[in-house]
Structure 1
Amino acid sequence: MAVFVNNATYLNYGNKPAGKARAVLWPVLVHRILYPEVAQAKMNLFQKVVMRLVRAKVYDVEDLADLTGFHKNLVLLIFAQLISRGWLSDDAKEITEVGEKAIDEEDEQTEKLVSGYLFQDAVTGKLWPRMENRLALEEPINHGEERPKFVLNRKTGKSINPFKPLFKARRCDAPTSANTLDAWQEYRSDYRAARQLAYSGELPKQVKLSGISYQSEQPESAWVIVWITASNDSNLWSIKDPFGIRDEAWWLANSLPKVLDSNKNLAKKLAELIGQPEPDEQTASEWLTSLKDQAELQVLLDYPWAKNDPDITAALAVLLKRREMLDSGQDHKNDLEAAITEAQKLLEVLMQWLIVSYQADNGALPKSGRNDWGLNERVLEALQIPSFKKEIIRVLARQHLQSVIRCLNSPVSSLKALLFAAALGSIGNTDHPLKSLSDKQLRLNDLLSLADLRNQTSHGNSLHTGKNYKEITIDTAREYINYALQFTEHFKEWINVQEK
């Protein structure tokens, strides 16, 4: 077991997020680990096949093409690659000594032992799903003082005073093999998901390993700088991933209320981020509950028909809160992008409700395994949905049909794919809402524009990309918030009567 010790070791792996944010020092136990780092070999499979055949005295281009099924030009290209790397002789008839060494490797990877670090939450005792190969030490500029101060920008000299919370140090059990594996798998899963959403240059280097051993029994105590902003969801606040892999440190969301219970001053500072009055005589838990209740109460007052679906109620509450924040002057670029994200999330939740409430007849759907835009267009036209004009059908037809069909069982995908899947639910359901609502009511061109704008906010949109990006203004954000609210309200007749 280990107990956190309040020391002066501070770590900083990320930068301040755009917009209004509060820095907080989070207590962790740092475990030094040793692991075999996996490095891929330089020889690919095609090269290895040709090398083995050359070693078997098969080096005629036509013979190699017949045996491997490769085109002769591909064989010649592989020959050129192998000769240039010094693995084959110039006449491509002999394997060099270097080539023999490369081909005789037992597998396509080599390993070297490197050291790294795992982080154990000192509040909960759980391992963070993050691994690092360096300790990013941050030195305070006011050594010895109780509240450390750090330089945020060395060019301007701007500094920060992160909030250092009080908390009851608990005895943390040493990580087991099982929870170490869980942390590693969650880290790898987050990194894989992040690669699909971000440019590779925006991500820290991934730690690749094939095993872990702890170098010391007792971990070291440290404080990690984390940033907290107003949330994009019903959790009120968003703790940013200090390592920059995902947007949020999702593993800390449930820990924040525990920290707030012991740190009323922190609750007051975080209240400023969401434009709410600070708690008076309430505990932090009571205050958080009351804030959520207030938000949901406002939704039920303005949108009583939403009471039958708690997910739609929650998404409405988030969007209404965002509109209120924009009206109060919180209109930084980050806030405007969040507004676009939350507007789309409401529509995604609505599409998920449609998919589940109006089940599609799978037997009536095409079984083609390849994506055929022409087939997709014919399917969409056959649905005879009033709001599906030609330009709407043309855009939706670019979605992969089998992916859309998978949404019928697991409705997690892009807004366009979810709309396509929801439309398939009209097959055999004559009372489907999309059969009744007009193009004038739904304005699907605006929905597709919102989806495109949301995709823009998911990536870095600098001049370096060479692409033209639409500027998100306060008017744009308000426009799409109001559109998403009006769009959803058109479905109130069906949501209100839907049996839960």
Structure 2
Amino acid sequence: MEKFSDRYLNYFADGRIPRGKSFLWPVWVWEVLAPDSTRTKLNLFQRTILGLINAGRPNPEEIAEWLGIEKEMVLYIIACQLQPNGWLDKNGKLTETGLGLLENDLDVRRSLTTAYVFQDAISGKLWPRVAHSLSDVEPESTTSKGTLVFMANRETGWQEEPYVVQCQSSQPERPPIRTLCKAIQQGNNAIHNQKVRGEVFDTTAQEFRPDEIDYIDEKPFKAYVFGWVIDDKTQYWTVTDPIAISSSADYLRKDVFLQAQNNRVFAGRLSKFIGQAPEKETWEEMNRRLAAEVDFKTFANFKNIERIPNLSDYLGALLRREQLLIETGDDDYIRFEDCDDIITQAQKVYECCFKWMLDEWPSPSKSFIKNNWKRDDVRNALEVLGEHWLSANDIENLANIKPGSIHYAAMSEDHSTSLRPLIAACIFIQQYHEEHPLIKFTADELAISSILRIANIRNESAAHASGKKTDKEIALECAKITTQWVEILLGKIE
């Protein structure tokens, strides 16, 4: 594949190179003109109101129409901002201070400064960062394998051989000014927050006025920006901020996850941080690594997981247990409680999902099931309502649930009940909602028999001190069934 660009930017120059695995990330760079926010005190509304009053147009209704806001907002700005600051007198006339401030603001807007906004060439998203310069670097050489070599520190001879992330990206359309302003404002916020914390890498970083910007060129130019995957105390690993404003870039971490999933070579370079257990690690290090791996799986394989409250927590607990059990060799001692806990966590995942369905698609009537129904009544209803998903054994299993338990599962605000009544309640209620997720499942996908089997295993071994123990193979099988089921569910609600 042809290289995306021959231009390279590194905002970690002057011996500040992070210790980690370096990469070059492809971006489109938009060059814009923006006023320097450090040289003016007026925002857009304040400046416009002062300017119109100074031009002999003080009518609040006319000003409001000009700005596209309510008249009351104009009166509020005048009474609570412009007059208390001494920029307008009590008669609504500009004071000398106000006139001087307005003239200074006009001078600032006449002397615009250049800013650069970065658009991710892979995801197409604008980074929430803005730079006041371009930090170009050139490779020193190229290895026999075609790897670029950059001099990171000439005094020590430290070299960097970054992994070049390739992509095929056609030139994007110019982002709307509003979208561009949002990115610049987010960049300003990052600079401000880091200055407050005293953690800014680049002390010359400056904020920009996002309300008056313009493009210099109609077209962006291509470039690669240096980034590093580094150790992190809380997340096990993180990604450096390519523009070197903050210590890490949460906005890029997910994209690095996905790129590693789809690129074995890139994933191999990150194996120190993702997916490879060190030969020796403490209990704390192991748990941080497992948490990082679970994050990776969650980001990469479970899109829309945030749609279901608490699911990421329950699924994360299951994935961590699963990974720990996978890493346990056949000759190693396997604690039965680790196997049992996988079953428990799997059931919690299902309970979370079915509770969410009952919240999102509730019963329109309290009388969807009668408390005086007998077992045959419940079974007959399930035969009709669940004919697409339930086997004969499933129907017999669920028919044993008392009608009151099914009613409570559906109508209780906290749904404080077990898995089987939740499943039955969803079967009863799906008939009232055309967009209910269950309707989109095939019988094989919904796999009610497998879910009920997991519930039965938990009841026999994990829940009641029965003396029965779950072995490793069954535990891993249940984990696999559960994670695949969640992935299917999330795909149904896109």
Please, what TM-score do these two structures have when normalized by structure 2? 0.42
Give the greater-gyration-radius structure (CA).
Answer: 2
